[in-house]
């Protein structure tokens, strides 16, 4: 138990020391306060590591970045070197084409010392970004890649999913909005490219690969029953404070995610970045534009995770899925015939764990192993009012029912 507890505390510290990437002073202060130990922390001494120069405070919305070029030694002639050069050239070509195609649609959002990124999704001036980038900005200043500026109006937010939509007062004439891709088609190992304004340095491009898929905030040791930060894309593309709200592109130049957080012990990039999948953005953004809020699809249930060790000890019929602890009277689940638990056992912690509720194992044939899986499928694949197929286990038998989703703000 001590090892598990230590690993979870470490993961929590990593995540919350991490980011929510915007550089928002109020958010950082809140996260730091949550993690401040009672004893005075010892200074951290880096041994045998390169020095990192301190970056002076930059203007809220810098419009250009100086680039220092260094001469690279030429490779010796020979077949292996030529093949390596050809491979590098192809990779560089992909990154450059994605950059050239999309740079004008990536913007900097700022007010005072707070800065973040966003991307234009249509010619009506709608910009998608993170909620934590703009939620505390009394005014939103937008800077485009050509250096021109506009004012921004916050149209709507979905705080639990860290998604917001801003409308620009004007767009440059030559700006082409980004193309939204399909995050469900992503595969581990694919090339991805991030563009944004880390530390306010606009038009910064970094690249890497999809390191993992379907990550959850719970994987990083944080349990939030209201969070929609599930189904996240993990990437090793360099992401730093200020990249928040910026797009993550695939190799064809289509947006597949929105850079949202990093896991790091020092608030800097160590190759653990996470992006909200674009398929969720495609469902949330239209509602934020039309009505200012997102109506989350709900089943009308209270659920508990299936813990494999506990499931085996209690002889439950499956070691994965989510158990229905309770159903809302008259809600979608009750109307669909789903049942909550009527029995439970008291754990050594004093908590009562349900034992005989229906166990959901799939939604529309998407496997449900965890609570994160359930929330991810509902908010990425469905809308309130949709009818879904719920596969569940009751008394050892697998069954199915049709359920029409309700909606909740």
- Calculate what percentage of the chain has a pLDDT beyond 90: 58
Kindly tell me if the per-residue pLDDT of 213 is higher than 90.
yes
Contact criterion met (CB below 8 Å) for 319 and 308: yes
Q: What is residue 83's predicted lDDT score, i.e. its pLDDT?
A: 57
- 82 pLDDT band, cuts 50/70/90, is low
Please determine, looking at this structure, whether the domain spanning 1-32+83-290 carries the CATH number 2.40.10.120. Answer: yes
CATH for the 296-408 domain, from 2.60.120.10, 2.30.42.10, 3.20.20.100, 3.30.360.10: 2.30.42.10
- List pLDDT tens digits, range 270-303: 778 999 999 999 999 999 999 999 999 999 999 9
Domain with CATH 2.40.10.120 in the chain: 1-32+83-290
Contact criterion met (CB below 8 Å) for 271 and 234: no
Q: What is residue 270's predicted lDDT score, i.e. its pLDDT?
A: 72
- List pLDDT tens digits, range 244-267: 999 999 999 999 999 999 887 766
Q: What is residue 70's predicted lDDT score, i.e. its pLDDT?
A: 30
Kindly tell me if the per-residue pLDDT of 322 is higher than 50.
yes
pTM, entire model: 0.76
Q: What is residue 131's predicted lDDT score, i.e. its pLDDT?
A: 96
Question: How far apart are the C-alpha atoms of 242 and 21, rounded to whole Å?
Answer: 6
Flag the least confident range among 50-54, 118-122, 155-159, 235-239.
50-54
Q: Which residues pair with 158 in a beta bridge?
A: 163
Q: What is residue 269's predicted lDDT score, i.e. its pLDDT?
A: 67
Catalytic annotation, residues: 132, 162, 244
Flag the least confident range among 80-89, 139-148, 271-280.
80-89
Q: What is residue 190's predicted lDDT score, i.e. its pLDDT?
A: 96
Q: What is residue 84's predicted lDDT score, i.e. its pLDDT?
A: 53
| Phi, psi dihedrals of residue 242, rounded to the nearest 5° | 110, -20
Q: Distance of CA 40 to CAs 36, 283, 335, 391, Å? A: 9, 46, 55, 52
Kindly tell me if the per-residue pLDDT of 42 is higher than 70.
no
Question: How far apart are the C-alpha atoms of 34 and 396, rounded to whole Å?
Answer: 43
Strands 254-262 and 179-180: parallel
Among 235, 280, 282, smallest CA distance to 259 is for 235
Greatest mean pLDDT among 4-8, 55-59, 88-92, 361-365:
361-365
Q: What is residue 90's predicted lDDT score, i.e. its pLDDT?
A: 87
Kindly tell me if the per-residue pLDDT of 316 is higher than 80.
yes
The arithmetic mean of pLDDT across residues 356-362, rounded, is 95
Interacting residues of 84 by C-beta distance below 8 A, sequence separation 6+: 75
Which one has a higher pLDDT value, 87 or 17?
87
Q: What does the DSSP assignment read for 191-244?
A: EEEEEE-GGG--SEEEEEEEEEEEE-GGGGT---TT----SEEEE-S---TT-T
Greatest mean pLDDT among 170-174, 200-204, 307-311:
170-174
Which one has a higher pLDDT value, 129 or 55?
129
Domain with CATH 2.30.42.10 in the chain: 296-408
- List pLDDT tens digits, range 22-40: 444 433 333 333 333 333 3
Average pLDDT, the chain: 81
Q: Could you give the angle at which helices 371-381 and 278-291 cross, rounded to 10 degrees?
A: 60
Q: What is residue 228's predicted lDDT score, i.e. its pLDDT?
A: 86
Flag the least confident range among 60-69, 84-93, 234-243.
60-69
- List pLDDT tens digits, range 3-21: 333 444 344 444 443 444 4
Q: What is residue 86's predicted lDDT score, i.e. its pLDDT?
A: 56
- 74 pLDDT band, cuts 50/70/90, is very low
Question: How far apart are the C-alpha atoms of 345 and 277, rounded to whole Å?
Answer: 38
Burial class for 317, CB neighbours closer than 10 Å (0-12, 13-18, 19+): middle
Q: What is residue 264's predicted lDDT score, i.e. its pLDDT?
A: 76
């Amino acid at each position: 138990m001590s090892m598990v507890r230590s690993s979870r505390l470490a993961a929590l510290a990593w995540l919350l020391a991490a980011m929510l990437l915007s550089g928002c002073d109020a958010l950082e202060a809140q996260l730091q306060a949550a993690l401040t130990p009672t004893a005075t922390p010892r200074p951290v001494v880096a041994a045998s590591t390169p020095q990192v120069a301190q970056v002076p405070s930059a203007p809220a919305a810098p419009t250009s970045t100086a680039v220092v070029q260094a001469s690279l030694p030429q490779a010796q002639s020979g077949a292996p070197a030529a093949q390596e050069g050809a491979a590098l050239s192809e990779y560089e070509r992909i990154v450059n084409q994605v950059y050239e195609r999309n740079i004008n649609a990536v913007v900097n959002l700022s007010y005072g010392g707070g800065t973040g990124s966003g991307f234009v999704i249509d010619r009506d001036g709608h910009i998608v970004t993170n909620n934590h980038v703009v939620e505390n900005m009394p005014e939103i200043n937008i800077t485009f890649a050509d250096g021109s500026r506009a004012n921004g109006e916050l149209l709507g937010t979905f705080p639990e999913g860290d998604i917001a939509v801003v409308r620009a007062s004007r767009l440059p004439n030559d700006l082409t909005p980004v193309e939204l891709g399909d995050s469900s088609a992503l595969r581990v190992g694919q090339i991805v490219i991030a563009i944004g304004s880390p530390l306010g340095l606009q038009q910064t491009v970094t690249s890497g690969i999809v390191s993992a898929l379907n990550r959850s905030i719970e994987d990083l040791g944080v349990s939030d029953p209201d969070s929609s930060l599930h189904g996240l894309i993990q990437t090793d593309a360099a992401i730093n404070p200020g990249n928040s709200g910026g797009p993550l592109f695939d190799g064809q130049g289509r947006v597949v995610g929105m850079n949202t957080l990093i896991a790091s012990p020092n608030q800097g990039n160590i190759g653990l970045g996470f992006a909200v999948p674009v398929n969720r953005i495609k469902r949330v953004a239209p509602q934020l534009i039309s009505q200012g809020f997102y109506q989350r699809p709900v089943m009308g249930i209270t659920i508990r995770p299936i813990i494999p060790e506990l499931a085996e000890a209690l002889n439950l019929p499956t070691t994965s899925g989510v158990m229905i602890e309770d159903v809302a009277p008259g809600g979608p689940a009750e109307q669909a015939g789903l049942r909550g638990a009527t029995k439970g056992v008291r754990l050594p912690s004093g908590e009562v764990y349900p034992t005989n509720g229906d166990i959901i194992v799939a939604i529309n044939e998407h496997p449900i192993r965890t609570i994160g899986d359930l929330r991810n499928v509902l908010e990425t694949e469905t809308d309130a009012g949709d009818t879904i197929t719920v596969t569940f286990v009751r008394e050892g038998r697998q069954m199915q029912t049709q359920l029409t989703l309700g909606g909740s703000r």
